[in-house]
Amino acid sequence: MWCWIRCLTDSIVFILGWFVLITVMMKIIFGPTRVQQLRDKVFAAVMNFIMKDSLRRSFESTKKELFSSLKAVKSAHLELQKKNALNILEVGVGTGTNLEYYPAGSRLLCVDPNAAFEKYFRRECEQKAAHLDPDIQFVTERGESMPSVADSSVDVVVITLVLCSVSHLDQMLREILRVLVPGGKFYFFEHIGDEPGTWRRRIQNALSDSGLWPLLFDGCVLNRDVEPVLTAVGFSAIEHHTVLVAENKARPRSSPSVVVSPVNPILYGVATK
């Protein structure tokens, strides 16, 4: 047992050490901005690859269930209301894995701090967004501060797998409240820290607190407790569920990939402004 723990910690230190050394050398040679741009490009390409197939399918049924209630949301904008369409803001849109769930004719504004995602997002729009208003915007901004989005202007805000890498969670949730119309809906689908004391939580703590996971996955933290912040920030109502998500439909929830996966459980639901 101790031998395994020793082996794990040695591997983390080894990988971290090399990663830091290479990053520092590249920053000295190319400058910090160029290195950040390179990291953004690599992360966008990696996300595009892993979100294409099995990981995407593993989220499909939970997302379908979550977004099915979108059709009952009424837009605050009269012309959209007549078409049963919505004014939607997606924060941290990445490659655009949620387009198919949005009601026909809806207007979509997307925000993401990583400009390298836009080319993958536009490609996805060509395949999956024919039913939406064609004027889809992609703005390079952080969710913590979205000056391009007016106060009380959007019917629905969507985030999926974003809060794990946001530095100021409460600030971002307050910003979401600011842009929502009164009674507007906030849809979220996020991986969170497991219950304290569980094996998964111990693994999440080791990978996140050592800095290894955030370093490899764009600041992603596995052991974040999102629910207390969500509750404290001032939504009038919050409806949420927690599930363990299988890697793909064919695998049962008791399969090792689900039991061990640190990107679990998933907290999903809808909050109302």
CB of 222 to ligand SAM, least distance (A): 12
The Cα-based distances of 135 to 105, 126, 195 in angstroms read 11, 12, 43
Are 43 and 218 contacting, i.e. CB atoms less than 8 angstroms apart?
yes
265 touches ligand SAM (CB under 6 A): no
> Which positions from 107 through 166 interact with ligand SAM, judged by CB under 6 A?
112-114, 117, 142-144, 160-162, 165-166
What does the block give as tokens for 229?
């912040």
Beta bridge partners of 89: 109, 157
Residue closer to ligand SAM by CB (options 51, 267) is 51
Q: Can you tell me the distance from the alpha carbon of 11 to that of 17, in angstroms, rounded to the nearest whole number?
A: 10
Residue closer to ligand SAM by CB (options 82, 168) is 168
Q: Can you tell me the distance from the alpha carbon of 167 to that of 152, in angstroms, rounded to the nearest whole number?
A: 24
Q: Can you tell me the distance from the alpha carbon of 270 to that of 211, in angstroms, rounded to the nearest whole number?
A: 31
Q: Can you tell me the distance from the alpha carbon of 141 to that of 93, in angstroms, rounded to the nearest whole number?
A: 11
Which range in 65-73, 80-88, 90-98, 174-182 contacts ligand SAM by CB under 6 A? 90-98
Residue closer to ligand SAM by CB (options 51, 245) is 51
51 touches ligand SAM (CB under 6 A): yes
String marking each residue 202-221 x if it binds ligand SAM according to CB under 6 A: --------------------
Q: Which residues here bind ligand SAM, judged by CB under 6 A? A: 47, 51, 91-95, 97, 112-114, 117, 142-144, 160-162, 165-166
